């Protein structure tokens, strides 16, 4: 007996022909239409703004040009990481201010990170006194404006520190620190500097003339970091394959320190110590009070916020992680360093990026204590002298934007490396 069944063929109906009304009423095209419309309106608004600006400048007898950067600056900068004098151009002055901004931002980020991690961990300590002291630090510093802390540290450095003349005489009223290598005065802090007996000269790249000796130092350090990473990755691969991790600490020391030590010896590197000559110290590196005040003010203030980020990241980790580590015999210090903090980084890093960006933008407060950063040079004296407010502010905004995007990009890359990977 055979059974036959009717087979019904279901065919897809033909797509309707495209009509202009579908741009509004068809869900497939409506979102694209809205986006194109708003993009067009944004372009119209930008075109109107640019045209209006150009017309207003023309009415004032001005044009839009960055040629003023090639004119002599005519003003001095007290903190100079590279060679500069008043006869150099406004572009050179802006470069010095930019480098001052970067130096201050890096120093403040390092200080804020170190203080924040220590305070964040200690605030969770079982020791009542330590925990309360860290709480006082966090609550006091983060609830008083940054500018006030900067001014306070500036006043302390200027008024409470001894004058260079106090270091003179058979029985001086003040003495240098660390085996007569560091002098803290009311004119700034003098520290030893690294000098090379064999100079390799400079390399001219546009307005910048970096020292070849120091360029090679940074290149050797970068190559050493990459080589050490490859060594660590190889050790991890061996551990995953055999269960035994080879010792790499001595190899890492040789890779990171060996080449740079050999290079320093080859160029005759030595320390130049500050010495009291006449009415002031000479030699070494001079860190002015404005830099110290900005560094301490921004670093300690932001460290209070970083401490809260660290504390919240640690509390986000399950208590079972600590209990399991203690059950395996790990000490509390190793448990925090090897188990808790690595997992807490995925919670700490995102708000930490915001704190680094805040530090970078708050460097513009240096104007209050006379620190010549990008805001004080390009956004201050240069604009006042040349009358190029629009060009100066636009250039300064673009530089700050580039710095912030670079920090965000680098931290996001690091965040993607430390976040949990699902299997």
**Do 293 and 218 reside in the same domain of the chain?**
no
- Look up the CATH number of the domain holding residue 317: 1.10.3720.10
**381 part of a folded domain:** yes
In order of 4, 88, 243, 369, the CA distances from 162 in angstroms are 109, 34, 60, 19
**Do 355 and 388 reside in the same domain of the chain?**
yes
Q: Which residues contact 347 (CB under 8 A, 6 or more apart)?
A: 312, 313, 316
For 53, the token pair is 């600006």
Q: Which residue has the higher pLDDT, 243 or 272?
A: 272
**Do 252 and 201 reside in the same domain of the chain?**
yes
**Do 303 and 254 reside in the same domain of the chain?**
no
Q: How confident is the model at residue 400 (pLDDT cuts 50, 70, 90)?
A: very high
Phi, psi of 45 (to 5 degrees): -65, -40
**179 part of a folded domain:** no
Where a domain ends, among 272, 304, 324?
Answer: 272
Q: How confident is the model at residue 1 (pLDDT cuts 50, 70, 90)?
A: very low
**316 part of a folded domain:** yes
**368 part of a folded domain:** yes
Q: Residue 307 pLDDT more than 90?
A: yes
Lowest mean pLDDT among 22-31, 336-345, 397-406: 22-31
**310 part of a folded domain:** yes
Which residues form the domain of 219?
193-272
Which alpha helices (DSSP H) does 164-271 contain, by range? 212-242, 249-266
pLDDT value for 247: 87
pTM value is 0.82
**Do 267 and 293 reside in the same domain of the chain?**
no
**51 part of a folded domain:** no
**Do 413 and 331 reside in the same domain of the chain?**
yes
- Total domains in the fold of the chain: 2
Where a domain ends, among 224, 244, 272?
Answer: 272
With beta carbons less than 8 A apart as the criterion, state whether 394 and 382 touch.
no
Over residues 398-419, the mean pLDDT reads: 87
**Do 95 and 146 reside in the same domain of the chain?**
yes
**Do 266 and 315 reside in the same domain of the chain?**
no
Where a domain ends, among 208, 237, 272?
Answer: 272
**Do 257 and 289 reside in the same domain of the chain?**
no
In order of 155, 190, 221, 222, 413, the CA distances from 225 in angstroms are 40, 30, 6, 5, 17
**78 part of a folded domain:** yes
């Amino acid at each position: 007996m055979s059974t036959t069944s009717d087979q019904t063929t279901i065919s897809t109906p033909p797509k309707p022909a495209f009509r202009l009304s579908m741009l509004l009423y068809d869900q497939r095209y409506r979102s694209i239409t809205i986006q194109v419309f708003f993009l067009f309106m944004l372009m119209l608004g930008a075109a109107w703004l640019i045209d209006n600006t150009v017309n207003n400048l023309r009415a004032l007898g001005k044009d839009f040009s960055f040629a003023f950067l090639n004119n002599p600056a005519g003003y001095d900068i007290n903190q100079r990481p590279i060679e500069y004098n008043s006869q150099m151009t406004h572009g050179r002055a802006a470069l010095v201010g930019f480098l001052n901004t970067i130096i201050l931002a890096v120093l403040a980020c390092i200080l804020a990170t170190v203080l924040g991690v220590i305070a964040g961990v200690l605030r969770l300590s079982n020791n009542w006194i330590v925990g309360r002291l860290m709480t006082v630090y966090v609550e006091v510093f983060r609830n008083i404006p940054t500018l006030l802390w900067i001014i306070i540290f500036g006043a302390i450095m200027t008024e409470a520190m001894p004058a260079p003349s106090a270091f003179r005489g058979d029985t001086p009223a003040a003495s240098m620190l660390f085996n007569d290598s560091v002098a803290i005065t009311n004119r700034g802090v003098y520290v030893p500097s690294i000098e090379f007996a064999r100079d390799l000269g400079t390399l001219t790249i546009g307005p910048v003339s970096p020292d070849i000796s120091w360029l090679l130092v940074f290149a050797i350090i970068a190559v050493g970091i990459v080589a050490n990473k490859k060594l660590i990755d190889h050790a991890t691969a061996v551990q995953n394959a055999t269960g035994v991790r080879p010792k790499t600490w001595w190899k890492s020391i040789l890779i990171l320190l060996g080449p740079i030590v050999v290079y320093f010896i080859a160029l005759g590197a030595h320390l130049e110590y500050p010495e009291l000559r006449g009415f002031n110290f000479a030699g070494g590196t001079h860190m002015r009070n404005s830099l110290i005040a900005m560094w301490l003010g921004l670093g300690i203030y932001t460290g209070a916020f970083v401490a809260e980020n660290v504390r919240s990241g640690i509390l986000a980790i399950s208590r079972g992680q600590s209990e399991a580590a203690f059950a395996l015999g790990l000490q509390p210090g190793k448990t925090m360093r090897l188990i808790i903090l690595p997992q807490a980084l995925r919670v700490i890093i995102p708000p930490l990026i915001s704190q680094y960006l805040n530090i970078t933008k708050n460097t513009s407060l240096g104007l209050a204590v006379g620190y010549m950063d990008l805001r004080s040079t390009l956004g201050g004296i240069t604009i006042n002298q040349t009358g190029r407010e629009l060009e100066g502010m636009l250039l300064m905004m673009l530089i700050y934007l580039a710095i912030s995007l670079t920090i965000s990009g680098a931290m996001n890359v690091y965040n993607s490396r430390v976040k949990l990977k699902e299997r």
